[in-house]
Amino acid sequence: MNAVVSLAPDSAAKKSEVGDILKLQIFIDEKIGSPGDGWEVVAPPDSAWLPAGGVTVATMSVRVLPVDGNATKLEVEAMVHQPGPLTVGPLQLRNQVTKAEVDVPVAVITGSEAQAGTKPKEEPPWLLTSVRFGGWDWVMLGILLVILLAVGITAGRYFWRRLRGHIGRKFTNTEWALNDLANLQRYSRSKKTIELEEWKKFSFELARILRKYSDKNFHIDSSDLTDRELLQELRLHSSAAPYVNLLGTILDTITEVRYGRKALDLSIVPGLLLDARKFVETTSVDERHGRDQHNNARPEGRAP
């Protein structure tokens, strides 16, 4: 079995220089495997390039070329890494299907001589694939830095205004209550099952939100009041009276749960939180007018 190496027509048409990528054709005077079989250059594991004579061969670039008769023709990519007559080999090729191996001896390709390039011959093969750095373009680098600085300053000012506005903003009692209710809703949605002790904490938190909102919105102190006494107090406020029954239903639903006597049905939680949100939104007093509206809403004879 003989193997002959030559340059592919497109590579033979020009003079080669160190660093050029060439295509080598290998003609084997025996038919091995099928045209669809894959081939590879036998090399150490994880080796993408293999020094072979005056070139460095890409180990996984082998492809089968059509050829007439009982022969095999392959093509492989290689990189020139030293000047002078172009030598190839020794190489060993392997058919990936039949596992047949073909030895390619050292050969000098007639009429091909690589000219000295910019890369010295003693460079390791892996350096031949790198792109040579031509130096910094200081003008373009300066322009890029100015652009990045301008973008950074603009973004910094924007986020600082947003942050300053957020920090300096005083949230209303209504906004705090709605935010706390939203957190409870996210908590309930994040759970597929909730234990009794968790329902107990959930119910106490819901009652706390509604009591704190009522205290600040209607200027009362419910810390020593039972649920029934709180509802009676709220009936004295004109803006709260129409929704006292709604609040009472919410508190009645969670009373047994708060004291750990039963669990809350997960299916009614969305409606429960929706009712709580409705109570807050519909009874909210405009906090820009503050205490004056609440005083006007109190019945005569009651101290503010």
pLDDT tens-digit map of 212-239: 999 999 999 998 999 999 999 999 988 8
Query: According to the model, what pLDDT value does residue 25 have?
Result: 79
User: Residue 302: inside a domain, yes or no?
Assistant: no
Domain extent at residue 239: 173-297
Q: Angle at the Cα of 213 (from 211 to 219), degrees rounded to 5?
A: 90
Of the candidates 48, 200, 201, which has an alpha carbon nearest to the alpha carbon of residue 126?
48
The mean of the pLDDT values for the chain is: 79
Residue 272 lies in a domain: yes
The domain total for the chain is 3
**CA dihedral in degrees (78, 80, 81, 84; nearest 10)?**
140
Residue pLDDT, tens place only, 78-107: 878 777 777 887 888 888 888 888 888 887
**Digit-coded pLDDT (tens) for 138-192:** 888 889 999 999 999 999 888 887 776 656 567 788 999 999 999 988 888 887 6
pLDDT over 90 for what percent of the chain?
A: 22
Tell whether 116 and 8 lie within a shared domain.
yes
Are residues 124 and 148 located together in one domain of the fold? Answer: no
Q: Are 110 and 4 in contact (CB under 8 A)?
A: no
In a domain, 304, yes or no: no
pLDDT exceeds cutoff 50 at 121: no
